[in-house]
Amino acid sequence: MRTCDAAVEVLRETDNPAVVWGDEGLLHLIAERLGWEHDGPRTSDRVLAALRKTPGPLIRRQTLCHGHWVSIFHLAIEEAKP
């Protein structure tokens, strides 16, 4: 399974429209879905790096977070609605 596919599943299941740096709970759920071992904050960095490489159906944007520009990955509008 690709990271983007796991992210889409987790976002749908948790009723979240997007995942971004700092969403530790969501990022760790995505890693669990992939069967990745947890490695503290590196787990989140690893998930985000994989999403930047292959966002798949997720829409990648940039957002300002605590004074830094970070990537945010949104579900497509039609996927975000039930």
How do residues 40-49 score in pLDDT, each as one tens digit? 889 999 999 9
- Rounded to two decimals, the pTM is 0.88
CA 51, 54, 56, 58 dihedral sign is positive
Mean pLDDT rounded to a whole number for the chain:
91
Given a contact cutoff of 8 angstroms between Cβ atoms, the answer to whether 12 and 79 are in contact is: yes
pLDDT in tens, 42-74: 999 999 999 999 989 999 999 998 898 999 999
Q: How far apart are CA 35 and CA 62, in angstroms?
A: 28
Say if domain 3-80 classifies as CATH 1.10.10.
yes
Structure tokens at 58: 């997720």
| More confidently predicted of 56 and 77 | 56
